[in-house]
Amino acid sequence: MIRSPLKQIFTILILGWMLAGAQSVDSELRKVNAEQPKSQQIQAPQAERLQGYQEWKQKRIIKARTDINLFKSPENQALAESSPAPSSSEGPAPSEDLQKTKQNQELNKRAERLRQLEFNLEIALGLTIHDYFALYLKDKSKEEIAQVVGKLNPDELSELLVSYRDALYGAPIPDKTSDSNLR
């Protein structure tokens, strides 16, 4: 049983090293193609643009901040504050109480929307490598995951492997004797 998870961990590490080597293969391919006529050049397969962890997280943070800024923009504020005036052909004007109630409801909706947008930003700021794996990589193929491994820095890869280990075996219990030696 222990052999299989260890084998998977080593496979991930080897894929990372292979992908680092793939960059040198790509440069060699460019050198070979430079010496060949265009009709004989070797074409590298076109891959979908995959996002590394930091890029994925930054896009979510930027989107959340943009949503908040758009919501708070003067144009959006003015649009929300302007309410159509009742026309005289529709009959008598609504009572002041009814108008205030509608305004309060609209203000409450806008306040709730702003709270939701701010919460979305908090979530984006707190995204971890585990979230990246669970949300972004869950539907990716083996080849796509192999490409992404090359985009992870050593700390991110380490965090991902620790998360995987903890999911398999549970978080390790800290050794209390080593804690007392550190003090």
What is the per-residue pLDDT for 19? 44
What is the per-residue pLDDT for 162? 87
What is the per-residue pLDDT for 167? 84
Above 80 in pLDDT, residue 61? Answer: yes
Mean pLDDT for 102-106 is 89
Closest CA to 150 of 10, 18, 26: 18
Mean pLDDT for 56-73 is 95
Distance of alpha carbon 146 from alpha carbon 47, whole angstroms: 12
Number of C-beta neighbours around residue 132 at 10 A: 23
Mean pLDDT for 81-93 is 55
b (16+ CB within 10 A) / e for 29-39? eeeeeeeeeee
For the segment 142-171, what is each residue's pLDDT rounded down to a tens digit? 999 999 888 889 998 898 888 888 888 888
Mean pLDDT for 55-67 is 96
Above 60 in pLDDT, residue 10? Answer: no
Q: Which residue type, as a one-letter code, is found at position 60?
A: R
Distance of alpha carbon 165 from alpha carbon 171, whole angstroms: 8
The 8-class DSSP code of residue 137 comes to S
What is the per-residue pLDDT for 159? 87
Mean pLDDT for 47-55 is 81
Count of alpha carbons within 13 angstroms of residue 18, beta-carbon side: 12
Mean pLDDT for 65-90 is 74
What is the overall mean pLDDT for the chain? 75
Above 60 in pLDDT, residue 181? Answer: no
Distance of alpha carbon 30 from alpha carbon 43, whole angstroms: 9
What is the per-residue pLDDT for 127? 95
For the segment 16-35, what is each residue's pLDDT rounded down to a tens digit? 444 444 444 445 545 555 66
